[in-house]
């Protein structure tokens, strides 16, 4: 490599990897397909190696391309964070802040919190990504994260807000039809809603409550929102955040004394953002907005 390739070449390379074709990358970037092809040719010439194998079916990334992907992803997230930082005015709560949160928290709780935040800070633009994965704040995939597990990364500012209790719930119509179970052992005779892929957190719950193992579920999904939708539709009994169920008179607690799991709630950001007025303001507003949803434990 005689000189560092232009960032635009890496951005185009990342888009081709993401979209799987030159035409898809062109649409995503707002470029012409020949321009995308020239960028890939120029990057391959600069590094002296092929990044894609051209076939009649399209482009297949080489092993080198796959090795480069995490670094290109990091460049992309860093560039986005740079734009968010440059977007604001120093000393003011303005510009853009990107928040990462879980599906249920994002869909069921965040709208009210963000609405209040926007009214307080009208010059603030807010982005939100919904994921049950733990985003790497060190790579600036988000500025602030709401996490349901204790953060383990270094160089983070983290505040534990409390816990959101989980319980078993079902739609009233389902229980009218099937009756209320009297014990956890009775659950095997009911239509249960639960996870598909087992994670370490789920394994801990399953170890404590073996009645809720994957094999007994009549509906399986790794999307908490999909599980919640199935509960609301009357499919069967599933795990739901108690504050969410409390807002819906049709959702009834099932065996509340026999099953309860407390979900930790943390608000986290990278320590490099401690001097950013907009990030500090959003961090504090999230803590304030989440407090009514949690219990202290």
Q: What is the pLDDT of residues 182-194, one digit of tens each?
A: 999 999 999 999 9
Q: Hey, what domains does the chain have and what are their CATH numbers?
A: 7-85 (1.10.10.10), 89-159+270-293 (3.40.190.10), 163-263 (3.40.190.10)
Sign of CA dihedral 160, 164, 166, 171: negative
Reduce the DSSP state of residue 85 to 3 states and report it. helix
Render pLDDT for 218-259 as a digit per residue (tens, 0 to 9).
999 999 999 999 999 999 999 999 999 999 999 999 999 999
pTM of the model: 0.71
Of 161, 154, 150, residue with least CA distance to 137: 154
> Residues 127-141: what's their mean pLDDT?
76
The whole-number average pLDDT for the span 133-144 is 74
Would the pLDDT of 86 be above 90? no
pLDDT interval class at 90 (50, 70, 90):
low
**DSSP designation for 182:** S
| Predicted local distance difference test score (pLDDT) of residue 246 | 95
């Amino acid at each position: 490599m005689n000189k560092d390739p232009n960032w635009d070449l890496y951005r185009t390379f990342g888009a081709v990897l993401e979209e799987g074709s030159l035409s898809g990358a062109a649409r995503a970037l707002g470029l012409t397909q020949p321009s995308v092809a020239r960028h890939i040719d120029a990057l391959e010439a600069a590094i002296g190696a092929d990044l894609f194998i051209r076939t009649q079916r399209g482009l297949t990334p080489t092993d080198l391309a796959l090795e480069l992907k995490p670094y290109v992803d990091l460049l992309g997230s860093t560039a986005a964070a740079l734009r968010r930082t440059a977007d604001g005015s120093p000393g003011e709560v303005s510009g853009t802040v990107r928040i990462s949160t879980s599906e249920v928290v994002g869909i069921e709780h965040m709208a009210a919190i963000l609405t209040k935040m926007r009214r307080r800070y009208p010059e603030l633009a807010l982005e939100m990504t919904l994921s049950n994965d733990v985003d790497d704040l060190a790579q600036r995939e988000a500025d602030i994260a709401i996490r349901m597990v204790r953060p383990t990364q270094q160089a983070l500012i983290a505040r534990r807000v409390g816990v959101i209790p989980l319980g078993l719930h079902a739609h009233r119509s389902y229980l009218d039809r099937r009756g209320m179970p009297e014990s956890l052992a009775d659950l095997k005779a009911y239509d249960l809603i639960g996870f598909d892929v087992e994670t370490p957190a789920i394994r801990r719950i399953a170890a404590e409550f073996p009645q809720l193992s994957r094999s007994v579920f009549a509906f399986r999904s790794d999307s908490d929102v999909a599980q919640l939708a199935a509960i609301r539709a009357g499919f069967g009994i599933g795990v739901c955040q108690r504050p969410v169920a409390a807002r819906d008179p049709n959702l009834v607690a099932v065996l509340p004394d026999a099953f309860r799991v407390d979900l930790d709630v943390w608000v986290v950001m990278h320590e490099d953002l401690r001097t950013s007025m907009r990030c500090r303001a959003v961090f504090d507003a999230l803590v304030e907005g989440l407090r009514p949803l949690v219990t202290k434990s």
